[in-house]
Amino acid sequence: MAKREEVEKIFEVFNSYHDRLKFTIEYESDRSINFLYLSLNVVDNKLILDWFHKKTFSSRYLSFYSNHSKCIKRGIVYGLVDRAILLSHPSFFYKNICLCVELLIDNSYPLDYIFNIINIWIKSLIERCKVNRDNGDFSFNNNKNNILLINKEKNHLIVPFIRGISEKVVDVVNVSDTLIGHSTLNRLDKFIKVQKDITNQNCKNHVVYKIKCRDCESTYVGQTKRQLQTRIKEHRNNIRLDSSKHSVIFQHIIEYGHNFDWENVDIMDVEHNYKKRLISEMLHIKEQPKGLNYMRDTELLSESYSSILNEISTRKFSNF
């Protein structure tokens, strides 16, 4: 913010920095100016804040009847209350909480559910404020002293949400040192694709791949975070190394005189998370009827999955 008579000069200086870098000016109106989610108001020469919505605000939030876990729907309520309280002066609390209730009703949230969750969260904010004040901090928002945070380290596991099943799994697992989170199976990005050029198969990275033998049914499964073509070149150049360093692929080539189909490598999965990609690799290794991979490649996979994977593989290959 600046004095009005200095604005134009500042504006010219900023816009003269580079031809492709242009700024705009936002002028106050009635001692008020809006910025992001905030409305900054000057009252009695004091700056007070309020929660701001643009004219294009749609009032749409996650429907209560959507196929999402209860914790995500609670999170919607928590997020609205946080903005209503933490982004505004106390004089606006009542107005903003009423707006939260209206928004939630418009998105099919039951009235008793709304008031129950709002009451729980407001009480937690008050308790947080008390703790902060005891530590000399007079603000609501201080994550360091958030009494809702659990100090004890816990493992986090993300699983797909399936209504009726996931809730029961959470009740069993969350009593241990593991916290369950949910992911959604059906997302818009699976149905609405961004119009981009299709990436060449060999240029894809973070993949689980399968290399097939041309002369028999043997296959090899691997994973890489680099481009697939880079990893395939390494496989093909492996024969140049000392015989003690030959991969299982070239041991197969030397022993049987077979050739591999380097030009038609199958991508079995694309996964950016390293741990998930390793699990995917182990699962696809297990699915191979005649795999060349060493047994140690799947030693981290629990034996409890073996019977399920064997049944899936049997069904898959019996259909051919």
Domain residue extents for the chain: 4-133, 202-314
Q: How far is CA 299 from CA 170, 252, 282, 283, in A?
A: 27, 22, 9, 11
The correct CATH number of 202-314 out of 1.10.3470, 1.10.8, 3.40.1440, 1.10.12 is: 3.40.1440
* Residue pLDDT, tens place only, 237-287: 988 887 778 889 989 998 999 999 999 999 999 999 998 899 899 989 988
Which single residue is written with the structure tokens 């050029």? Answer: 197
Q: Three-state SS string across 195-220, please?
A: CCCCCCHHHCCCEEEEEEECCCCCEE
Per residue of the chain (320 residues), what is the pLDDT tens digit? 667 778 888 889 999 989 888 888 887 888 888 888 899 998 888 889 999 998 899 999 999 998 888 889 999 999 999 999 999 999 999 999 999 999 999 999 999 999 999 999 999 988 888 877 776 655 555 554 444 444 456 677 778 888 888 877 777 776 667 777 888 877 777 777 767 777 788 899 999 999 999 999 999 999 999 999 999 999 999 888 877 788 899 899 989 999 999 999 999 999 999 988 998 999 899 888 889 998 777 777 777 677 776 776 666 555 54
CA 109 and chain centroid, separation: 25
Q: Read off the tokens for 148.
A: 């809702």
299: how many CB neighbours lie within 10 A of its CB?
Answer: 9
232: how many CB neighbours lie within 10 A of its CB?
Answer: 19
